[in-house]
Structure 1
């Protein structure tokens, strides 16, 4: 469903347009975009199979953001002009921030599926809601995992980005509060081999990949794994690079045992199992948490559109009133301290890694929010 305008159905009834922002080309994380789109499309098909929105088909208008904030803002403006009832999607935080700003300015409801940056908007807005947990919540859970595992001096390999800088600040604060240290390494200013030398010199026991996927993340992993001096150093990726099948394909055994944040519960209920099966058949691989976020997003918006109408102001006004059973639990939105959008406060947060025994398809839960390590 990649329409360029909002057509009329054969019966003469107009469709209900839903804009979708998805990173489908590089430098976007294409694996994430493919998963997100699969979840969005599956949910739209199910909504239409069930009669649509008051008998009107739901039409998904997909726009590729390619991890470009300006492109995303322009897409929101275009979609607004095409008459969509709302906009959904996006994975990259800096891109979602640009989309949220434009949606707020234009008065277009935006349900952010996957981006986590706390400061998604500069000022509180009624027009934007979010399913993904805020970065501060997830990354503090990740810091608790590292500290609980005995790491007191960690290094982060970073690239210039508001998102990476925000993550670094969260980790630094958590470690400082427990007497730990954080060493920041500019991944753009050194080779992978020089980065390894820095890790040895600094005595870090863990290296976190706050860099792009697949590169330079994969190159750094290969270098660290191949350096005998760093055999005991934990490699981590809180942003979730190892979630995607391309990670295992690119790195093989080197890609196992790298903890990352995953927004899935320990076990899915009947709805999650059913949707997961459908996504697996559609994708030809295991669905990631991003695919579930896509399905949940459309399902929430469909309920809003059915219950409160397709007027944009009515959609935005429904954020605090809607309650929908999602694949990962009941979804409802509230205001959270320091978060300027309507936020689903209880998305599951887990630290997991790919099992070295079964790299593809099996993940080990290492830590859950609240300290429930397994």
Structure 2
């Protein structure tokens, strides 16, 4: 465990200067650009509100943004860069494999990192005091999703997947949870099968559900189109636990074919007054309904601002404050704790929903299960 701060971890922000926060965001391909745009909107809105309220002890909060482009090596280099620029902490990132790389580097340098949106359970290889996370662990959310499948009478599950620690972890979680409850999981390789060959395999296996554990828009979009146009698979449930249908791009590209595909998102059934207010501000900035990722961004900066006000800008003091956090976020009161099997301080848990886009109105989401 890396508990003793390195020289970087002992860093103090210069008196009178702005308080800098490093932000890791996927803003270019192959990163999930729409998720990055929503995340950045939430981060930036929260920084604006902190500064409108007087900043951090009278000093402005400054967001220093780095585009990760879904590249783990680029993210690690960005943490190095941000540490050298004197940031008090690092925040953000959507892609789990990228966040894992950033977390490892932040731990090594002694830089506090608040991960807003990545869910991979093993965000670090060993327990660390330097990293905390808002998003629920993958094992928590995907077990809820597996229970939804069973409740919908779907026991023969096929997953179409690509090589990735994240997808492999998700497949393992689903298989273990479903096997203990009478379900089965078969893996199909998206890199080896054309969408048409995939449809044949689904028929051969008698699958009752297909889960898209693949990138967006490729190869997810052509797979959905092929399955939706195959009459043999008219009764097949298509699902996307990683959340591909959350963003407007999905509905714009797929139209009616993109509706009725259940996915995970991390919002309560009804937002409280704070969430409603922030949601309106985010909608104005984005020009569309904000995703849960935008709320995660706002919550992350708000948590860090509270820590900076109460514990100062020393990096070791910030990391040491994780257990003391009790901040009202857009989706509930945020507290961090030690959770079995997870090496970072974890909010256990944000609200979890299984939702889909209504086939009669693709802009409306139907809540299918909560957890």
TM-score (norm 2): 0.96
Q: Take 1:209 and 1:178, find their aligned partners in 2: how far apart are those partners?
A: 21
Match of 1:82 among 58, 82, 85: 85
| Residue 30 of structure 2: aligned partner | 27
Q: 1:96-107 residue pairs with structure 2 within 5 A? A: 96-107=99-110
| Residue 69 of structure 1: aligned partner | 72
Q: CA deviation at 1:279?
A: 0.2
> Does 1:52 find its partner at 2:61?
no
- 1:39-95 Cα offsets, whole Å, 9 max, x none, are 000000000000000000000000000000000000000000000000000000000
| Residue 364 of structure 1: aligned partner | 366
SS class of match (1:333): coil
Query: How many residues matched?
Result: 359
SS class of match (2:48): helix
Q: 1:1-374 residue pairs with structure 2 within 5 A? A: 13-360=16-363, 362-369=364-371
Q: CA RMSD in A?
A: 1.1
Q: Take 2:338 and 2:43, find their aligned partners in 1: how far apart are those partners?
A: 25
4+ residue runs over 4 A deviation: none
- 1:7-40 Cα offsets, whole Å, 9 max, x none, are x99xx93100000000000000001000000000
- 1:141-193 Cα offsets, whole Å, 9 max, x none, are 00000011111101000000000000000000011101211110000111000
SS class of match (1:320): helix
- 1:117-157 Cα offsets, whole Å, 9 max, x none, are 00000000000000000000000000000011111101000
Q: Take 2:185 and 2:132, find their aligned partners in 1: how far apart are those partners?
A: 33
Unaligned runs of 5+ in 1: 1-7, 370-374
SS class of match (1:209): strand
Unaligned runs of 5+ in 2: 1-12
Q: Take 1:178 and 1:327, find their aligned partners in 2: how far apart are those partners?
A: 35
